[in-house]
Homo-oligomer: A and B are copies of this chain.
């Protein structure tokens, strides 16, 4: 148990889609039960009888920090995101978002259908005033310290001003929620020089270089993303989504192949056993569950989109970061920054 502890004494309420995820509702509910505390109340949206069954396996002391919000429907992984969100207004995912929209929760977490969760958050949560586009920000578990990667799929077609907004929002998230001092920002391109890239990148580069609010490093290449060259890596949602899925599959593939290699002979098998402890530490260091999921920045109330295969640990992390964001008044800080950007652009 790692009960959530507030640093400011503020009580935070986070809505959780209890029915979304490969291991829902059990792992989702148990994740909530493991972190809920007097400073973090979790609203569990879903079928009450199923949630109650899961809660029977949890520490009874957590029960008072958990509240069930009835939701009769569930959105499946195979459903068309937009259609499902429109049709299933009584689904656990939509109801969880509505808890935020109607002011009963400060943030929302779901490990359900990613596209549907993005659509549900976009439709139900209002956009921050003056913002053009929300962006989906992944937290990459790079060695040493995390790297923020935005946008990983909310916008497949963008303009330079959208990338500037993403850079600013992710910088504030890095600083206030992940406690990175003066986060540096890199723009994904195909060469380090400012003249390298496609038209979108060339224009965005000048815009970012002139932005006094940003600690702009310049262009970064594909090879720099995981190398802690910068704290915040900015790209369009098409490139970001392709890269995120590529990284995940590359690591998974290599880990599979190393395992296979360790099973190919008796000697290799013994070698693998002796290495196991250290390899496990390494695996933990690149564990994507550490940071819970991807954060939709730019809507009024933080929305966390978790991996479908999230365990209770991932859900607990997501709830914790969502609470941390609310405690740090992330949304109002994002609003201030966006207002500043608009003023700068107008002058």
- Which of B243, B273, B281 is A246 in contact with, Cβ under 8 Å? B243
Residues of B within 8 A of A346 (CB): none
- Would you give the shortest CB distance from A260 to chain B, in whole angstroms? 8
Interface residues of A in 235-287 (CB under 8 A from B): 235, 237-239, 241-251, 253-255, 257-258, 260-262, 264-265, 267-268, 270-279, 281-282, 285-286
Inside 8 A of A262's CB, which chain B residues have their CB? 275, 278
Residues of B within 8 A of A282 (CB): 257-258, 260-261
7 residue pairs A–B, Cβ–Cβ below 8 Å: A153-B190, A156-B198, A222-B249, A226-B249, A235-B242, A261-B279, A268-B274
Asked whether A48 is an interface residue with its Cβ less than 8 Å from the other chain, the reply is: no
A308: min CB distance to chain B, Å:
13
Docked complex Cα distance between A267 and B274 (Å): 6
CB distance from A125 to the nearest CB of B (A): 22
CB of A241 within 8 A of CB of B257, answer no
Q: Please tell me if A102 contacts chain B, counting CB pairs below 8 Å.
A: no
For residue A107, give the distance in angstroms from its CB to the closest CB of chain B.
25
- Give, as a whole number of angstroms, the nearest-CB distance from A30 to chain B: 28
Interface size class of A (residues with CB under 8 A): 35 or more
Residues on B with C-beta less than 8 A from A190 are: 153, 156, 237-238, 241-242
Task: Check B258 against A268 for contact (C-beta < 8 Å).
Answer: no
Which residues of chain A from 97 to 149 have a CB within 8 Å of any chain B CB?
Answer: 115, 143
Contact partner of A238 (CB less than 8 A), chosen from B224, B239, B254, B278, is: B239
A223 at the B interface (CB under 8 A): yes
Whether B245 and A221, one on each chain, are in contact in the complex, defined by CB atoms closer than 8 angstroms, is: yes
Among B224, B239, B275, contact of A239 (Cβ-Cβ < 8 Å) = B239
A198 touches B265 (CB 8 A): no
Inter-subunit contact B278/A268 (CB<8 Å): yes
| Min CB–CB distance A197 → chain B (angstroms) | 6
